[in-house]
Structure 1
Amino acid sequence: MINRDYILRLAEAIGRELSFILKLRRRDNDEEVLIYIDDVLLRTVGMTSRFLNSLSDEMLVKALSPIDRLNVEAALWIASLLQEEAAIYTARGNSSEGYYRSVKALALYLAASQQEPLEEAPFFQERILNLLQTLADYELPDSVKQQLFAYYERIGHYGKAEDIFFELLEHGKTIALLEQGRAFYQRLQAKNPADLAAGNLNEMEVAEGLAQVEKLL
């Protein structure tokens, strides 16, 4: 695991680049900004925006995991810069390009959070929250919802995790997904009532959720 101090230093380095990008955007020359973002991508991860956006979310994560372990630093640089591209395309009225870049960025943030304590870096937490707000009116791919399900549980937002779980169930009640749900509720049963309440669930809701999953299984 990369240590917390490194995550914070990385957040600071990315934040400096994003501050400069914001200054460029104030010149109202989007093409200049997109070229600069491409230059930063080449400098930091050795890949262009065009190449990164040609890959599916799953393929991009795999490309950044050459030894079955995500290159977290590269993932966070790419996520942050694609998020900036998304904002530019959305502002220009190209919501489709904005959506796809936002989803890729979210998938990378969530993948990185599985390995490193991004919740301890307010910078990345705010970036993730902004993406979730941006995508609130859109349907997310199931692969991203799976990541979001795990992410919400990890940061203690149990009610939101449950909501995502039931959204996934609507798309297909597979044995694997139901087993995930059962394990989720069993983990919640070990939490104390105060922790559950902080995560917007209570013991009765956990018991009801587990019973529902058991019935489906």
Structure 2
Amino acid sequence: MINKDYILRLAEQIGYELSIVIGLRKRNQNEDTLIAIDNLLLKFTGMTSRFINSLSDEMLLQALSPIGKLNAEACLWIASLLKEEGETYDNLGNSNDSYYRYVKSLYLLLELLHQEHVAFDSPLYGDAKVLIDKLSAYELPSYVQKKLFRYYEQLGMYAQAENILFDYLEHYPEPQMLESGHAFYQRLQAKNRADLENGDFSLQEVQEGLAQLQRFVD
């Protein structure tokens, strides 16, 4: 688990560097912004934007986990800078490139929040929400939807997790996700009423959800 003070210090350092990037972008110096982002990526991660964006999201995550343990610092730098790169491509009217940067950024951030059990008062959750909102008009890749399902449960947002679960199963009725759905409801059965209500859920909805899962059983 990342030390809370360490996250705050790292966030402050990233925020300082990003303030320069954001300033360039707000002055519509978009090409200079992209160059500045690339320089920061190389400085703090040893990878260029071109290389990072040439990798699939899964391959990038593997590259950041060389011995099976996520390099949280590099992951956070990349997620933060890809978000800014996406914003810059939005400025340029290039929604295709901005979409892929946002998706990759969100994918890494959700994995970081899961693996490192980041404290719930961390501003990183706000960053994740910003990215989720930016991508709300798009259909997300299936592997990102899986991470969102896990993320919403982690936050205690059970109704949102259920929505992701059934939307996923409607499009990809995979046995693995079906098993994850059963495990999700079993965990919810162990919750007290107050916990469920805080997650906009109820024990009755748990039972109804389990029954609905039967639609996807061969």
Please give the TM-score of this superposition, normalised by the length of structure 2.
0.95
How far apart are residue 29 of structure 1 and its match?
Answer: 0.9
- Alignment of 1:109 with 2:109, yes or no, is yes
How far apart are residue 211 of structure 1 and its match?
Answer: 2.1
- The count of aligned residue pairs is 217
> In 2, Cα distance between the equivalents of 1:83 and 1:18?
10
> In 1, Cα distance between the equivalents of 2:121 and 2:194?
24
- In structure 2, relative to structure 1, the CA distance for the partners of 1:215 and 1:31 (3 Å cut) is closer
> In 1, Cα distance between the equivalents of 2:31 and 2:176?
45
- In structure 2, relative to structure 1, the CA distance for the partners of 1:168 and 1:134 (3 Å cut) is same
Report the counterpart of residue 164 of structure 1 in structure 2.
164
> In 1, Cα distance between the equivalents of 2:121 and 2:57?
24
Please tell me the root mean square deviation across aligned C-alpha atoms, in Å: 1.3
After TM superposition, list the pairs within 5 Å mapping 1:1-217 onto structure 2.
Answer: 1-214=1-214, 216-217=216-217
Aligned-partner SS, 1:122: coil
The code of the aligned residue for 1:113 comes to L
Structure 1 residues without counterparts, runs of 5 or longer: none
C-alpha distance after superposition, 1:131-186 (max 9, x if no partner): 01100000100000001110110011111111110111012222211111000000
> In 2, Cα distance between the equivalents of 1:214 and 1:113?
31
C-alpha distance after superposition, 1:111-149 (max 9, x if no partner): 101112335353211111110110000010000000111
Which range moved further: 48-57 or 164-173?
164-173
- In structure 2, relative to structure 1, the CA distance for the partners of 1:121 and 1:81 (3 Å cut) is farther
The share of aligned pairs that are identical, in percent, is 54
Asked if the contact 1:11–1:121 (Cα under 8 Å) also holds between the matched residues in 2, the reply is no
The code of the aligned residue for 2:77 comes to W
Asked if the contact 2:4–2:119 (Cα under 8 Å) also holds between the matched residues in 1, the reply is no
> In 1, Cα distance between the equivalents of 2:53 and 2:119?
26
How far apart are residue 214 of structure 1 and its match?
Answer: 4.5
> In 2, Cα distance between the equivalents of 1:79 and 1:174?
29
Aligned-partner SS, 2:115: coil
> In 1, Cα distance between the equivalents of 2:170 and 2:215?
16
The code of the aligned residue for 1:148 comes to L
> In 2, Cα distance between the equivalents of 1:51 and 1:121?
33
Please give the TM-score of this superposition, normalised by the length of structure 1.
0.95
> In 1, Cα distance between the equivalents of 2:24 and 2:34?
10
Aligned-partner SS, 1:47: coil
